[in-house]
Amino acid sequence: MKIEAKTFSDLDSSKSADGLIPAIIQDDRTLRVLMLGYMNREAYEKSLAEGRVTFYSRSRQCLWTKGETSGNYLDIVSVAADCDNDTLLIRVIPHGPTCHTGSTSCFGDLQSGNEGFIRYLQSVIKQRHTDMPEGSYTSRLFQRGVNKIAQKVGEEAVETVIEAVADNREAMIYEASDLVYHLLVLLEATGTSIADLETELARRHS
């Protein structure tokens, strides 16, 4: 996949004494910020060419591809520069933990470990729709079609309401989780996503 991005010459590396550009790494599925690294021209161009994040190590003064020893690569989805062209935002699909401590993010407890999980679940459901693995409940839902999926959404909504009215918080969370899961399946079955809902909600808010 060709990654659309500015050339390094279009970026402003003059603000750094060593000519490096800071790169913020963000999980494309959960939107969680994973880490901050630095790139010189060679690291930037290598990242774009290979589709995997490569940094320039300021301590070792050499290139290093994230995951080259651990296998926890960062596959690039998109690259964007900020308004001053001196900082990058790189959205990625991470393969395993990003931090050397084994944590998902180098920012640790600043973000909840489950933050953004609904978007991750959306990506899993989308992959199930593509692969249709045997024995998968999600696959069976897709096989049954939109009408049956919509029926399940209705059933889970009713069960959620019942538990809410009964003031049974734990049961309501359980049923609401079922509702959200089946709604995500329905969205995927109809070619819709969380982003589409966000767009509509933002339109109403404005």
Contacts of 201 (CB under 8 A, 6+ apart): none
Residue 202 confidence (pLDDT) above 80:
yes
User: What pLDDT does 138 receive?
Assistant: 98
- Rounded to whole angstroms, what are the CA distances from 56 to 38, 66, 78, 118, 160? 6, 10, 19, 33, 51
8 Å CB contact between 37 and 53: yes
pLDDT band at 4; cut points 50, 70, 90: confident
Say which range, 23-32, 74-83, 184-193, has the weakest mean pLDDT.
23-32
User: What pLDDT does 132 receive?
Assistant: 97
Residue 1 confidence (pLDDT) above 70:
no
Q: What is the mean pLDDT of residues 37-55?
A: 97
β-pair type (62-65, 54-57): antiparallel
Residue 153 confidence (pLDDT) above 80:
yes
Mean pLDDT of the chain: 93
What is the torsion angle, in degrees rounded to the nearest 10, for the CA atoms of residue 86, residue 89, residue 95 and residue 99? 60
pTM: 0.73
pLDDT band at 17; cut points 50, 70, 90: confident
pLDDT tens digits along 92-120:
999 998 998 888 889 875 555 677 889 88
